[in-house]
Structure formats: C-alpha cells, structure tokens
C-alpha cells in the first residue's frame, strides 16, 4: 500500500503536460537543443554504449538524439500523453536504443548496470524542494562513480527582493495565447503553480545528495540555470 504522504508525481506534472493538445504542439514551440546537449555531454564521457537515463523525457527530443549518438537510453516520464508521443516518434523514425518507462523521479526503479549519464530538462521544477532533495539523491544513486548528472531548468538566480521585477519581466516576454509559441499565460502559470526554486537552494540540495558541481551556467535574466554535477569516485585509503 502506497503511503498517503507521498508526493503525487502525476498530479504535480503540470496541467499542460497531461493535455494531449499541448503535447501535440510541444515540439513546435520548444526546441530542447538536444544536439548541443549531446555534444556537451560528449566532453564528459558520453559515447557509444553509454547508459543514459533521462527523467522527464517528454516527447523525447534528447533521448532520441542520445540514442542516435550510440547511447543506450532509458526515457522516463509520468505523463501518458508524452510517452505516447515518444513511442509514435520512435516507431515512425525507426529509432533503436530507447527503452520507454512510465515513472518519475520518485519511483523509477533502475535495472541493469548503473547510468553513465542521468539527464533532466525542465522537469525537476515539478517537485517541491523537499522532494527535489529526494530526487537528487535518487539520481545520484543511479550513477556509476564518476557518472554525470545534467540538469537544465527554470532556477531563479536573483535575490528574493528582486522577484517581482524579475518575474514580471520574464512573463512579459511571452506572447498572446497561441498554438505555436509560449504565451504570457504559460509563464504566469509556471511561476504561480510550479515549484522552481533558487540556485543556492538547488545547489545545496545537490551537494547534500552527494553530487559535486562541475559546471554552472546562468541566463542573463537569472531565470534559467544549466548544471553538470558528478558523482565522485571514492578515494581508496
């Protein structure tokens, strides 16, 4: 029997990610930069035969790019519509090397050898900070010693006193409601209903989970952050 205190990952996944209409338009409005991400991770050891776990895979842009680079990929998501879209793409484009799993940060059970890379983009913000800490510890445990965790998300790098001005400026970059672009309403919904946190909170949670921060890149508006963490290799004494 599942404990009643556990976070409901499906309910917390965001209204739009459970909406087939949104899922159908997702690849038109969001470019995951998957090719550049694969190139970045090549510098950290990604290559043919590597084991990659992507949590919050969505429509699978990165998972597919990593598989085409020769990786063995597990694509994990809690959203049935997102996974249905990914399965359709894999079949249509005859992509091999991707295992699709319906699960999330808090209940994915890994089988086989440890991951060389764990990847998550625009997904960790669906968890409150307490559960982010749990998720980071679980992702660290998925990695082999020396393995890499890549996190790209909405992570606020400004001071709390700046929040109103910074968030209003970001929301103002959204356009009118449209099927082909992110709208102001989309950004407002993110700020209001989702769980993006501060950079110093996320970085402390990752350190406490046993991860070492190797790279951090912050957007000029201090809304987005990209990280490379590594699970350290134990030192023999």
> Which of 125, 119, 155 lies closest to 139, judged by CA?
119
DSSP summary character for residue 13: G
**What is the tens place of the pLDDT at every residue in 75-101?**
999 999 999 999 999 999 999 999 999
Q: Give the pLDDT of residue 16.
A: 86
Residue 98: count of CB within 10 angstroms of its CB: 23
Q: What are the residue boundaries of the structural domains of the chain, listed by start?
A: 11-154+195-230
Task: Point out which residues pair with 225 in neighbouring strands.
Answer: 153, 218
The side-by-side arrangement of strands in the sheet containing 115-121 is 98-102, 72-77, 51-55, 115-121, 143-154, 224-230, 212-218
Q: 77 with 48: CB under 8 angstroms?
A: no
Q: Give the pLDDT of residue 180.
A: 81
**CATH code at 11-154+195-230:** 3.40.50.150
Q: Give the pLDDT of residue 14.
A: 87
pLDDT band at 237 (very low <50, low <70, confident <90, very high): low
One DSSP character per residue, 141-179 reads: HHEEEEEEEEEEEE-B-S-GGGHHHHHHHHHHTSBSS-S
Q: 117 with 148: CB under 8 angstroms?
A: yes
**What is the tens place of the pLDDT at every residue in 182-211?**
999 999 999 999 999 999 999 999 999 999
**What is the tens place of the pLDDT at every residue in 21-48?**
989 999 999 999 999 999 999 999 999 9
Query: In the chain, pLDDT over 90 holds for what percent of residues?
Result: 91
Whether residue 179 has pLDDT greater than 80: no
Q: Give the pLDDT of residue 177.
A: 83
Distances (CA, A) of 37 to 15, 66, 121, 192: 27, 9, 10, 29
Q: Give the pLDDT of residue 214.
A: 98
Residue 47: count of CB within 10 angstroms of its CB: 11
């Amino acid at each position: 029997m599942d404990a009643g205190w556990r976070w409901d990952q499906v309910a917390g996944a965001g209204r739009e990610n459970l909406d087939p209409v949104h899922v159908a338009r997702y690849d038109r409005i969001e470019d995951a930069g998957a090719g550049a991400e694969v190139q970045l991770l090549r510098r950290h050891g990604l290559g043919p035969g590597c084991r990659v776990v992507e949590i919050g895979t969505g429509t699978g842009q990165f998972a597919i790019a990593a598989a085409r680079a020769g990786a063995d990929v597990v694509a994990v998501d809690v959203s049935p519509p997102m996974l249905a879209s990914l399965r359709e793409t894999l079949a249509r484009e005859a992509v091999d090397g991707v295992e699709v799993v319906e699960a999330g940060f808090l209940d994915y059970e890994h089988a086989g050898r440890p991951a060389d890379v764990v990847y998550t983009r625009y997904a960790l913000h669906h968890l409150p900070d307490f559960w982010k800490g749990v998720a980071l510890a679980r992702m660290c445990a998925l990695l082999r010693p020396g393995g890499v965790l890549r996190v790209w998300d909405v992570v606020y790098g400004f001071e709390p006193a700046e929040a109103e001005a910074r968030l209003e400026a970001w929301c103002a970059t959204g356009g009118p409601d449209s099927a082909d672009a992110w709208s102001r309403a989309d950004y407002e919904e993110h700020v209001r209903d989702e769980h993006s946190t501060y950079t110093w909170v996320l970085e402390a949670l990752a350190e406490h989970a046993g991860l070492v921060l190797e790279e951090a890149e912050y957007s000029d508006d201090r809304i987005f952050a990209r990280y490379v963490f590594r699970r350290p290799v134990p030192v023999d004494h």
